[in-house]
């Protein structure tokens, strides 16, 4: 039987790496698009390349979401059955520093893929997944967020992803493309980028414990996030593309914790006893054993506008896709710690 072909934009990112392995284990041929960088940016997928079981079914091409010609040529060349658009300038705070570029890659990049599918007349041949985000809900005041919750994005990143969401809906309705928006809440893993808060906390605390770092500097400790594991979430991306009809789904755990609660959980697992003192920007965590301050807040890590609260109601995915997250936050933290200890 002919192998299915998947084309992944953002293959070098956290989700790209997990999704590649997931699809290869499902016997897909996986083609990934990497952008040119001055030093090698394939660390997260090098193990796939080296693995003899995967090697011949995994191939990378240069391309960029800002470059229509590369997108068009690669879709034409690889003739995929499924396209996953995971490529993005994905850092919310950075999007305030590079708003135009974030919109260009995240918003127009999505349009470029859809337009390539349409202009190649591939709408009946290919299924498309768009990596949407709970950041699109932003400042919406709802206890739970689901597919009907209105968007109120609170960053250039969130706004750019709303464009990507609606252009995906629009191309589905206008041209009958099988296109789905996965509206995913935060998901982490040992290979999470180092400037996202979970990885930063775990890496920082382990370095402090082992004497490589003195302090960890954070921003807002009171924002709440619904954190899951990337391994669980790439499975549901694939599930969305295996349904009879394309649709949009929110994906999350239904549990939410503050950054401070995350720190407390991680510190406990690492073996720190910490005590919080002070308030606002002056809030600090002290290592009870030696009375040293190990965490402080810094203004530079606060955003111009914050998304205070995110909590998912993924009933639709549970019912229609038969999907629920399997990995708890405590187990996710444990896996991230183990990885960090091995790679210190
Ligand atoms: P990530 O680790 O930051 O990966 C982003 C990927 O996009 C990387 O492969 C990156 O390449 C690539 N990329 C950036 N600019 C590009 C461009 N101009 N052209 C082509 N590729 C480009 O993000 P992630 O956590 O895996 O997330 C995957 C997707 O899901 C993103 O779209 C993100 O916005 C979205 N999302 C993530 C979460 C989450 O919590 N992780 C939640 C909801 C939605 P380099 O490796 O070269 O930088
Ligand atoms: N990055 C970071 N660094 N965030 C901090 C820090 C810090 O030092 N201190 C506190 N925070 C707070 C942020 O203000 C935010 O409220 C929360 O920690 C989470 O920040 P990130 O881990 O950077 O993730 P995010 O929620 O902004 O965005 C991630 O999740 C989105 C889904 O909701 C990214 O993966 C996005 O790409 C994704 O769409």
> Could you confirm whether 97 is annotated as catalytic?
no
Question: Which pair of structure tokens corresponds to residue 137?
Answer: 């809900």
Q: Is residue 297 part of a domain?
A: no
CA of 143 from ligand 1 middle (Å) equals 28
> Could you confirm whether 338 is annotated as catalytic?
no
pLDDT at 58 over 90: yes
Q: Whole-angstrom Cα distance, residue 73 to residue 239?
A: 27
Q: Does residue 107 have its Cβ closer than 6 Å to ligand 1?
A: no
Average pLDDT of the residues in 197-207:
98
| Exposure b/e, 3-25, CB count within 10 A at least 16 = b | eebbbbbbbbbbbbbbbbbbbbe
Active-site position among 157, 171, 178, 249: 157
Q: Does residue 16 have its Cβ closer than 6 Å to ligand 1?
A: yes
CATH code, 25:
3.40.50.720
Q: Does residue 133 have its Cβ closer than 6 Å to ligand 2?
A: yes
What is the extent of the structural domain holding 318?
5-190+229-254+310-327
In sequence order, what are the beta bridge partners of 84? 8, 129
Q: What would the pLDDT profile of 102-141 be if each residue is shown by its tens digit?
A: 999 999 999 999 999 999 999 999 999 999 999 999 999 9
Question: Atom 14 of ligand 2 has which residue's CA nearest to it?
Answer: 220
Q: Which atom of ligand 2 is nearest to the CA of 193?
A: 35
Q: Is residue 10 part of a domain?
A: yes
Neighbours of 318 (CB within 10 A): 14
pLDDT at 55 over 90: no
Taking alpha carbons only, the member of 49, 12, 50, 51 closest to residue 33 is 12
Number of structural domains found in the chain: 1
Q: Is residue 275 part of a domain?
A: no
Taking every pair of Cα atoms in the chain, the longest distance, rounded to a whole number of angstroms, is 66
Please give the pLDDT value at position 17. Answer: 98
CA angle 155, 157, 158 (to 5 degrees): 65
Q: Does residue 189 have its Cβ closer than 6 Å to ligand 2?
A: no
pLDDT at 152 over 90: yes
Query: What pTM, to 2 d.p., does this model score?
Result: 0.98
* 153 — pLDDT class (breaks 50, 70, 90): very high
pLDDT at 212 over 80: yes
Question: Atom 46 of ligand 1 has which residue's CA nearest to it?
Answer: 12
Q: Is residue 9 part of a domain?
A: yes
Residues contacting 207, CB < 8 A, separation 6+: 213, 344
């Amino acid at each position: 039987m002919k192998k299915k072909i998947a084309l992944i934009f953002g293959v070098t990112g956290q989700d790209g790496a997990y999704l590649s392995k997931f699809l290869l284990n499902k016997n897909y041929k996986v083609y990934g698009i990497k952008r040119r960088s001055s030093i090698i940016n394939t660390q997260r997928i090098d193990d796939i390349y080296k693995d003899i079981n995967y090697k011949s079914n995994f191939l990378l091409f240069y391309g960029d979401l800002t470059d229509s010609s590369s997108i068009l040529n690669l879709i034409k060349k690889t003739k995929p059955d499924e396209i996953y658009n995971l490529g993005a300038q994905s850092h919310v705070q950075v999007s305030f520093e590079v708003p135009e570029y974030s919109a260009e890659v995240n918003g127009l990049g999505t349009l470029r893929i859809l337009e390539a599918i349409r202009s190649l007349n591939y709408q009946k041949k290919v299924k498309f997944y768009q990596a949407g985000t709970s950041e699109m809900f932003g400042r919406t005041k709802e206890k739970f967020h689901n597919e009907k919750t209105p968007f109120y994005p609170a960053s250039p990143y969130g706004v750019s992803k709303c464009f990507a969401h609606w252009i995906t809906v629009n191309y589905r309705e206008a041209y009958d493309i099988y296109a789905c928006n996965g509206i995913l809440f935060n998901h982490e893993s040992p290979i999470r980028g180092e400037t996202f808060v979970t990885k930063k906390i775990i890496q920082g605390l382990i370095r402090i414990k082992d004497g490589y770092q003195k302090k960890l500097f954070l921003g807002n400790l009171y924002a709440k996030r619904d954190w899951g594991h990337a391994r669980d979430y790439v499975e549901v991306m694939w599930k969305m593309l295996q349904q009879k009809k394309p649709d949009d789904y929110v994906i999350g755990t239904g549990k939410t914790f503050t950054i401070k609660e995350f720190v407390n959980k991680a510190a406990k697992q690492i073996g720190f006893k910490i005590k919080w003192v002070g308030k606002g920007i002056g809030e600090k965590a002290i290592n009870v054993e030696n009375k040293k301050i190990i965490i402080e807040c810094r203004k530079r890590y606060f955003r111009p506008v914050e998304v205070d609260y995110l909590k998912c109601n993924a009933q639709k995915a549970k019912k229609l896709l038969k999907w629920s997250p399997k990995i708890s936050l405590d187990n996710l933290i444990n896996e991230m710690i183990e990885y960090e200890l091995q790679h210190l």
